[in-house]
Structure 1
Amino acid sequence: MAFFVLPLVLLLSMASPATSCNKQEKTSLLQFLAELSHEDGVTVPWRDSMDCCEWEGVTCNASGAVIEVSLTSRSLEGTISPSLGKLTGLLCLNLSYNSLSGGLPSELMSSGEFPSTVWENTRNLGVINASNNSFQEWIPSSFCISSSSFFEVLDLSYNQFSGSTPPGIDNCSALRVLKAGHNNLSGSLPDELFNATSLQYLSFPDNSLHGLLDGAHLMKLKNLVNLDLGGSTLNDKIPNSIGQLKRLEELHLDNNNMTGELLSALSNCTYIITIDLKNNNFSGELQKSELFQPAQSKSIGSSIQQLNWHNSRNHLFMQLLAYLIALWLSGNNLHGQLSLRISNLKSLIFLSIGDNKFTNITNILHILKNCKSLTTLFIGANFKGEAMPEDEMIDGFQNLRALSISECSLSGKIPLWLSKLKTLEMFLQRNQLSGPIPAWIKNLTSLFHLDLSYNNLAGEIPIALMEMPMLTTDLTANHSVFELLVYLGHSFQYQIISTSPKTLDLSHNNFTGAIPQEIGQLKLLAKLNFSFNSLSREIPKQLGNLTNLQVLDLSSNHLTGAIPLAQNNLHFLSKFNVSHNDLEGPIPSVGQVSTFPSSSFDGDPKLCGIMVAKLCGLAEAPPVSVPSTEKMIKRVSFVIAFGALFGVGVLYDRIVLSRYFG
């Protein structure tokens, strides 16, 4: 967004802090500060210096006029004073990432509105950023006054504004950026909004907007570079006129009710780099979509998250595909198989086609193995009832680091071709795989997140799992950083997947036998889940060596014996569950284990301790028959009653005798 306001930025950079600000502007700033209920220490430097041009967050021009007030992320609370309207030279006001709210004086405006007087008097104001606060009620309609020819940027996103989008936006002839996403706005987009022909960035995601995306109106915004209307309830098809937005680089219509097949008109947007259409109701067979036809298309699929192609309009289709690096197709009603042309995506590093109705997993893997740069592959919730391919010809994927084939109900065994994925870091839950865990699992030297839960795997837990390098030795320093593209805040961010917790999850399977004592070697493990199996014998005390463990779930097995005292060495443990086993003896009354609720020990009637409201030690007392116990109680009761009566009788006798013979 920086290039939108480049002239303003250059003007601010020419500001000279050497000249003192005038008294009136200093008073206005102090009044603004005084009306805040909390200001995170801004008061001290502002009050210590006489020259407000030297104050933090304040910028002046060569004449000493305040041209910028920027106080972001300073925990400011309270209301915005109308005194800022007296800063007649103000060009930029940035109060984002604070806790500013309503409660302004009623003589100024309705309580809770962002004060329109701030910019009614500051005719030169070009940028207002009040995002990430707690403003509420309606967005004022007076910020686009007839003389606001300099006004370029308005960001009110991440607040609590309600009502409809403000009218009169078309009066802001220079407005280029309008962001009001993540509020409580409702209704349809007003017609006059589309008369603001200078708009380059229009962003209203995650509101309650509804209706259609009118093609006749949309084509008026010829300068539009970014359009974000995701997270609304827009319906019907994407209008063909969107192809006339030749400068469009980003389109976000995700999480709506859009329908129809994937649109070929987007191929006319020759500068587009991001298309997000996930979680709609698009349908059709993907390999027959017009977007995959070379003669008609320069973009691909539903939910392309990044197209890193050159801007030349003369590139051939296959050349353009060579620069695609990330593709989201998840959460639609796409069916059939992938197009063979996807194998031409030589730069593709991220692919998500989960939660659709794709078929033929073997064919898809054969196609994708040619995407040599692929590091992340999410293909789960497809291929219902198919068999896990065991074809040894499935090779490639030499750079794959994250693989999810979850919730596919795949049958068969863990296939041998997975052993070739030497860079795999995250792994196959929720299927119907059977058989044992193969010993070659330890050869996946980068694997640190292994989730095989909700399958039909059987046999004993192999010792090979206890020799996984990423769980036994701290290889972080030598471990290559995996930058997983994630979609956050409608811009691309990077998440280092190596910071995810190291996990071993074998829950909801049919494993038998004992938990190997070698489990103590997995010293880097953070989450261990062996629940809902048929494991037996005692809990190995070596579990106490896993001092990084945060989650330990051994519930619903056939484990016996006592809870080892060594479990108290697990100081970072936040979840602990050994319920529904055959454990016995006292629950440790001190240490981390003693802090968990009784539900962690349900279904183990032989356990005792404060947590289960059962005192220990009584079970070790000599057995006593019920009748003899009752007799003892009767005898004790008789002795107590007789003693009480005897005492009362003696006392009565003394009183009577003293009265007559005293």
Structure 2
Amino acid sequence: MSLIDLQLSYNQFTGSIPPSICNLSNLSILYLHHNNLYGFIPMEIGNLMSFIDLELSYNQFIGSIPPSICYLRNLSIFHLHHNNISSSIPQEIEKLTHVTVLDLSYNWFTRSIPPSNGSLSNLQHLNLDDNNFFGSISNEIGNLTSLSHLSLQYNQLKGSVPSSLDRLSELQFLYIGHNSLSDSFPPIFENFTKLTVVTLFENNFNGILPHDVCRSGSLQKLSISGNNFSGSILTSLKICASFVRVRLNGNQFTGNIFEDFGIYPKPDFIDISHNKFHGQISSNWGKCPQLRDLRMTENDISRTIPPEIGNLTNLGSIDLSFNHLVGEIPKEIERLTSLNRLILNGNKLSSSLPRELGFLTELEYLDLSANRLSSSISDNLENLSKLHYLNLSCNRLSQEISIQLEKLINYLS
């Protein structure tokens, strides 16, 4: 049979791949993804030497990748993600010299990631996420000079990141979060003129973030939370106007928040919580028109909340808790009509509860506890019909408690 293209994806096929399918010697494309297939990948698959595209993802295959894979010399795309493949990656995979996409993520691969001797020089997309790989990242990874997407997240990798990564000048996406990588991060970003995403979260990196992390000028997502990075925010980050999502939380960063952060016109998410930033919140934070989530909890931020915060009309959540903020909650907050979470507890905010809170009709979570708020509960709170959490404890609110409790029951019932 001269069948070239066989596509059976998105069905409910069960059972194993019949070895007889490997008699289709002219087959170049086989799509079996998104079924309920199980069992082993047959050794006979090596007979299909015309293969260009092999997609077996989203099934329940077990065992290992058969060594006969090495005979698929024309293979360009190999998707095996979301299965139950175990053991290690066979060394024979080095012979797939034409492969451009290799996705083995969401399996049970173990041992170390095999070093590349440079034969996979056409590989552009490598995804090994969510396996059980351990050991270090081999220095030979720098031989994969065509890589634009490297993803090694959610494994058990340890040791330092090899400086040979700086040879991957085509890299656009670097994902190495949620491992046990350590030491200072090497200065590898100088050659990355196309870098768009960097995720290093939940490792054990320390020291200063390389100064040229935003060298590409196109960095949109930076996630380095849950490490031990220290020092001040770099000038390169201050002027990185391409940011869309930034997660710096859970580090040891220091510096003046007023001086060290620039104007970011594009971000929809910023989290700088659990660091050691100090100073006051700049009015420039009001120049982030797309911002939907702002988190600054547990720093040493002081002085007042700027009224320009009211310009963030797309904001859905703001958390400034456990800082040293003083003064009033700005009346301009009434413009944040999309807000569903307002968390300001653990500060030194004073004066009365602003009536403008009553305009935040989408609010579901309101925590103003452990401040110095006084007077009584505003009548306007009765407009907050979606509220399911309200904490005003540890303030200086007055009036008879029976009156206030009656109001709260009416507001929240």
TM-score range, shorter chain: 0.7 to 0.9
Q: CA RMSD in A?
A: 3.9
- List per-residue Cα deviations over 1:522-579 (Å, max 9, x = no partner): 33545422245455665333122234x35432253466676555445456x4754336
Give 1:282's match in structure 2, choosing from 139, 157, 166: 157
Counterpart AA for 2:226: A
1:141 to 1, 5, 18: 18
Which residue is 2:63 aligned to?
A: 187
Deviations 1:446-487 (A, max 9, x none): 47242112334345x42x2x3236424x8xxxxxxxxxxxxx
Aligned partner of residue 334 in structure 1, secondary structure: strand
CA–CA distance in structure 2, aligned partners of residues 328 and 289 of structure 1: 16
The structure with the largest alpha-carbon Rg is 1
Matched residues in 2 for 1:249 and 1:422: separation?
Answer: 31
Percent identity, please.
22
Out of 503-512 and 576-585, give the one that drifted further.
Answer: 576-585
* Structure-to-structure mapping, 1:548-567, within 5 angstroms: 549-554=362-367, 556-557=369-370, 564=378, 566-567=380-381
Mapped pair 1:453 → 2:300:
no
Q: What is the rounded CA distance, in whole Å, between the counterparts of 2:333 and 2:217 in structure 1?
A: 36
User: Which whole-Å CA distance do the structure 1 matches of 2:249 and 2:345 have between them?
Assistant: 19
Instruction: Give the partner amino acid of 2:299.
Output: N
Give the 3 Å change call, closer, same or farther, for CA 202–403 of structure 1 in structure 2: closer
- Written as runs of structure 1 = structure 2, the 5 A alignment for 1:3-152 is 124=3, 126-131=5-10, 133=11, 135=12, 137-141=14-18, 144=21, 146=23, 148-152=24-28
The 1:282/1:393 distance shift into structure 2, 3 A limit, reads closer
- Alignment of 1:523 with 2:330, yes or no, is no
Q: What amino acid is the match of 2:132?
A: N
Indicate the SS of the match to 1:151: coil
Helix, strand or coil for the counterpart of 2:46?
helix
Q: For 1:471, which of 296, 299, 312 is the aligned residue?
A: 312
Indicate yes or no: 2:207 matched with 1:347.
Answer: no
2:309 partner amino acid: M
| Aligned residue number for residue 259 of structure 2 | 416
Q: Which residue number in structure 1 is paired with residue 354 of structure 2? A: 540
Distance across 2 between alignment mates of 1:177 and 1:392: 45
Amino acid of the structure 1 residue aligned with 2:390: N
Deviations 1:93-144, CA, capped at 9 Å, x for gaps: xxxxxxxxxxxxxxxxxxxxxxxxxxxxx9747322323x5x3642341560
TM-score (norm: length of structure 2): 0.79
Give the corresponding residue for 1:256: 131
Structure 2: gaps of 5 or more residues: none
**1:254 to partner: Cα distance:** 2.3
Matches within 5 A, 1:357-506: 357-361=204-208, 364=209, 366-368=211-213, 370-383=215-228, 386-388=230-232, 396-411=239-254, 413-418=256-261, 420-423=262-265, 425=267, 426-433=269-276, 435=278, 437-442=280-285, 444-446=287-289, 448=291, 449-459=293-303, 461-462=304-305, 464=306, 466-468=307-309, 470-472=311-313, 502-506=316-320
Structure 1: distance between partners of 2:403 and 2:39? 61
Distance of 2:411 and 2:240 partners within structure 1: 53
**1:468 aligned counterpart, secondary structure:** helix
Give the C-alpha shift of residue 394 in structure 1.
Answer: 8.0
1:59 match = none
**CA deviation map 1:345-403 (0-9, x unaligned):** 33333333333333333xx353336544434333332335x4545x8898643444443
8 Å CA contact retained: 2:149, 2:174: no
Moved more, 530-539 or 352-361: 530-539
Relative to structure 1, the CA distance from residue 373 to residue 178 in structure 2 (aligned partners, 3 Å threshold; closer, same or farther) is closer
Residue aligned with 2:190, SS:
helix
| Residue 174 (structure 1) shift | 3.6
Given that residues 398 and 421 in structure 1 are in contact (C-alpha distance below 8 angstroms), is that contact kept between their aligned partners in structure 2? yes
Cα distance between partner residues in 2 of 1:527 and 1:423: 22
AA aligned opposite 2:358: G
Q: Comparing both chains, which one has the higher relative contact order based on Cα–Cα distances under 8 Å and sequence gaps of 6 or more? A: 2
Deviates more, 1:198-207 or 1:530-539: 530-539
Measured at CA, do residues 398 and 271 of structure 1 come closer, stay the same or move farther in structure 2, by a change above 3 Å?
closer
Change (3 A) 1:508 1:192: same
- Separation in structure 1 between the aligned mates of residue 221 and residue 53 of structure 2, nearest angstrom: 34
Unpaired segments of 5 or more residues in structure 1? 1-121, 293-297, 300-320, 475-500, 588-603, 613-662
Q: 1:197 to 1:387 in 2, by over 3 A?
A: closer
Residue 231 (structure 1) shift: 1.9
Alpha-carbon offset, residue 406 of structure 1: 0.6
8 Å contact from structure 1 (residues 442, 469) kept in 2: no
Counterpart in the other structure of 2:203: 356
8 Å contact kept, 1:189–1:209 = yes
Letter of the aligned partner of 1:354 in structure 2? Answer: F
1:509 and 2:323 correspond = yes
- Whether 2:390 is the aligned partner of 1:577: answer yes
> Alpha-carbon deviation of 1:262?
3.1
What SS class does the counterpart of residue 423 from structure 1 fall into?
coil
In 2, Cα distance between equivalents of 1:123 and 1:192: 22
Distance 1:510 1:152 in 2: 64
CA displacement at 1:203 relative to structure 2: 1.4
